[in-house]
Structure 1
Amino acid sequence: MSLASCLVFPDFTPRPHLVVAAAAPHEKLVARAAERLGAPVPCEEWTVRDLAEHMMTWTPVLAGSGRRTPPAAGTPKAEGDWVATLDAGRDDMVAVWSDPSAWEGTTTMTASELPASMVGTMVLCELVLHAWDLSRGLGEKVTWDDAVLAEMLEAMQQMAPLGRGSAFGDEVPVPDDAALLDRVVAVAGRDPAWRP
């Protein structure tokens, strides 16, 4: 019996149109990350290196999941020409999940069968949150259009409760009039005011 048949998941809205926009800041941030691998990031006790290696691990898994053939997660290191490796992997993942067909039916990540729209939403959340994480660790500014962030807030409000205590921390309170990006990261358990 599959995990998907045992658990009830929300009906995630397919959002292939957001994938390119969500990924847009990454190329610049990852290039900058190569110069600051030891800098802290908002993920507890992680550095830029840890975050880069996390992205290098899961980017090919998420891309493969969109194709219905995810590889086993590896243990890549931020060594050698890792920036080019991560950039190529991200471009592949973005291309896969920008195709509406990737969001249909079910797929797998490692051994678990999941709704494809849920995995696609994970992709969006990873792209936005990790760009924000990098931007804070590197002291860079990151922005997305409000239209993108409004949809991301809805997606995060669906996704975050499923991963509390693992992928996401407890929601951080923010004012009702907080900026959209602050609300997105707060739902994910990040403190929008975090600084190194």
Structure 2
Amino acid sequence: MPPEFDLSSATDALTAVVVAIKDDQLDAPTPADMPVRALLEHVDGLAEAFRAAATKESVSRSVSPEFGSGETLAPDWRAGIADRLRALAEAWRAPAAWEGDTEAGGVTMPAPVTARVALDELVIHAWDLARATRQDLVVDETDLAVLTDFLKDTPAEGTPGLFGPIVPIGPGAPRLHRVLGYTGRDPFWFPATV
């Protein structure tokens, strides 16, 4: 089965945000209700988890993600996360990645669904980190179309373990705002100024 979409634009956008984060921003709050350093630690882990899901290495071996404090963030986190995000996108370019079932975070799903979950994680956490560190983020319209279709039937209470109650967004809002709302994000969230 050929790849249904390419994760490169999402991994490139997230990488650009990650490498621009300054050391003095690591304790800043994020829309994900954790500090930047903890979200970076999560992004680092999910990049490897979804790469292993593409290659099927994770089948019968993945575990539910744990959210730490970010205290174990590697000293070379910028380069390490960038490398793992590149490897993630590359792994999903292989046609075999899209075949059969695979596993990530202890959950077995059809591979195309897993790819959509990966795309959601990449885009949403890129926005979380960009917003927390006051960076601009441009999300590829093709990625937003895939996510809108994937998330449009999200129940009002959200998806337990993934994201909380949806934030209602008007029909005329930008597509990114609608995607954020489906994942329980307020598109107008900004860190408090001091």
Instruction: Give the equivalent residue in structure 2 for 1:126.
Output: 121
Structure 1 segments unaligned to the other structure (5+ residues): 1-13
Offset of residue 39 of structure 1: 1.1
Partner of 1:156: 151
Q: Measure how far apart 1:50 and its partner are.
A: 0.9
When normalised by structure 1's length, the TM-score is: 0.82
1:27 aligns with 15
Question: Which sits farther off after the overlay, 93-102 or 132-141?
Answer: 93-102
For the structure 1 residues 87 and 163, does the alpha-carbon distance in structure 2 shift closer, same or farther, using more than 3 Å as the test? farther
Partner of 2:31: 42
Which amino acid in 2 is paired with 1:186?
Answer: G
d(CA) in 2 for partners of 1:116, 1:65: 8
Sort the Cα spacing of 1:20 and 1:185 in 2 relative to 1 into closer, same or farther, 3 A. same
Whether 1:93 aligns to 2:88 is yes
Deviations 1:28-62 (A, max 9, x none): 21112243111111012x01101000111221111
Whose helix proportion is higher, 1 or 2? Answer: 1
* Letter paired with 2:162: A
When structure 1 is superposed on structure 2, of 17-26 and 79-88 the one drifting more is 17-26
CA distance in 2, matches of 1:64, 1:117: 14
The number of residues matched between the two structures is 181
Please list every run of 5 or more consecutive structure 2 residues that lacks an aligned counterpart in the other structure: none
Alignment RMSD: 2.4
Runs of 4+ aligned residues of structure 1 deviating over 4 Å after TM superposition are 71-76, 160-163
Residue of structure 2 in register with 1:7 after alignment: none
Match in the other structure for 1:175: 170
Give me the whole-angstrom Cα distance separating, in 1, the residues matched to 2:167 and 2:105. 30
1:66 to 24, 44, 54: 54
CA distance in 1, matches of 2:49, 2:144: 25
Q: Deviations over 1:66-110 (max 9, x none)?
A: 111126569782231111111111111111113332111111235
Percent sequence identity over aligned pairs: 29
Distance 1:101 1:157 in 2: 27
SS in 2 for 1:119: helix
Structure 2 equivalent of residue 8 of structure 1: none
